[in-house]
Amino acid sequence: MGPDRGVPHLTAQRTIVHFADLHLDSPFAWCEATGDVARRRREALRDTLLAIVELVRSTDADALFCGGDLYEHDRVTLDTADFLRQTFASLDPVPVYIAPGNHDWYGPTSVYATGGWSGNVHIFRDAALQAVSLAPGITLWGAAHCAPANTDNFLGDGFRVSGTGAHVALFHGAERSWLAAQGEGKAPHAPFETAEIPDSGLHHAFLGHYHRPADGAHHTYPGNPDPLQFGEEGERGPVVATIDAEGGVACERHVVAVTPVHDLRLDVTGLTSRQQIRDSLREKAESLAGLARLTVCGDLEPSLDLQEDTIREQLLETFDAVQIRKSELHLAYDLEEIRGEPTVRGRFVEDVLGAELADDEKRRVLRMGLRALDGRDDLEVL
């Protein structure tokens, strides 16, 4: 599709739907899903893309933007490639603009380089921003990652827009201040500064890379539209944006996720039997489905066994996949009582409490030693 194809309506305003970071064919190792469960989760990602396409139709949007990481380059299947071509073709004549990211980078072996894409699909193939006409008076600049790493700043080297009217960008990149503030553990692929957007003459940049949504005066990260890890915060999903010929951009985020993900907490403080644990888990899981991460916390009575496999089996009656963590769990030993015992345990506690160790180190040694003396194998070393 050439720069003059544009969209069918000749007005000074365009409505677009923007999304990024879907990661089709993700292995779902983050939720410990395997086999059929992982396959169902990958199918759910496809359902999410179909929901985004339906959003384009329901809002009568003039174009669909994808800010990269649409799929996993090293895992993508031929079936997924066919699914993408058919899904985007179903929008024809509404144009689809794709700016490949570091996970779906453009190269001779990428899905993007194969044939069969419908005429409404425009894939940016250059590591420098290139212009296409989105509408009379509105220009879109897009670029691609052409390798999985070491992509330079698309706004660097003195990049400036050319021509009058509104100018918006579509690319996959790491805004430096957001990266530092959020500490997401993401590598700085195509790093840039927020100020470089207006300094280059761009009115707005529609971006991908950060999974946490962000809305700035001159940029938008939609966030991953379907969950990609536990503990995600912030309403995330495709953005419906209106762009006018003066460069004004108004955005509204929509939630289209089809994968329910739940973070549950089980505080075992005061629980004295396995039945109480079962009852508490049953209450927390009631009416839920999908994926669950359970954080077991609190002070566990030393007389109570807490077997992870038993908890997992119960939760798998409700959820497709379960992750259990016990980093906030402690044994509720009464150290002063044990210290007074005429036993090996008592002497051990007395010696550790009297040792010249930091308080954190004392607690770690005491828990590890008391677990060993009690023959405990149901808890991690805390």
Q: Which two structure tokens, joined as six digits, stand for 359? A: 């308080």
Q: 252, 240 in Cβ contact below 8 A?
A: yes
Q: Which of 10-14, 15-19, 181-185, 253-257 has the lowest mean pLDDT?
A: 181-185
Query: Could you tell me which of 249, 53, 281, 49 has the C-alpha nearest to residue 168?
Result: 249
Query: Does the pLDDT value for residue 351 go beyond 70?
Result: yes
Q: Which amino acid is at 264?
A: L
Q: Which amino acid is at 48?
A: T
At 10 the pLDDT is 43
In this structure, is the dihedral angle defined by the CA atoms of residues 102, 105, 109 and 111, taken in order, positive or negative? positive
Helix axes 274-285, 308-315, angle to 10 degrees: 30
3-state secondary structure of 28: coil
For residue 253, give the H/E element and its range. Answer: strand 249-253
CA 19 to chain centroid, in Å, comes to 12
Query: Does the pLDDT value for residue 247 go beyond 90?
Result: yes
**CATH for the stretch 13-253:** 3.60.21.10
pLDDT digits (tens, 9 = 90+) for 93-147: 999 999 999 999 999 999 999 989 999 999 999 999 999 999 999 999 999 999 9
Query: Does the pLDDT value for residue 353 go beyond 90?
Result: no
At 364 the pLDDT is 78
3-state secondary structure of 353: helix
Residues of the chain within CATH 3.60.21.10 domain(s) are: 13-253
At 295 the pLDDT is 92
Residues 232, 235, 237, 240: what is their CA dihedral angle, to the nearest 10 degrees?
-160
Q: What is the mean pLDDT of residues 294-303?
A: 86
Distance CA 335, CA 350 (A): 9
Q: Which two structure tokens, joined as six digits, stand for 29? A: 């190792």
Q: How far is CA 84 from CA 38, 88, 362, in A?
A: 20, 6, 57
Confidence of residue 182 (pLDDT cuts 50, 70, 90): low
| DSSP secondary structure letters along 306-351 | --HHHHHHHHTTT-SEEEEEEEEEEE---HHHHHTSSSHHHHHHHH
Query: Does the pLDDT value for residue 319 go beyond 70?
Result: yes
At 105 the pLDDT is 97
Q: 107, 131 in Cβ contact below 8 A?
A: no
Q: Has this prediction a pTM greater than 0.85?
A: no
Distance CA 242, CA 87 (A): 23
Q: What is the mean pLDDT of residues 257-264?
A: 88
At 85 the pLDDT is 98
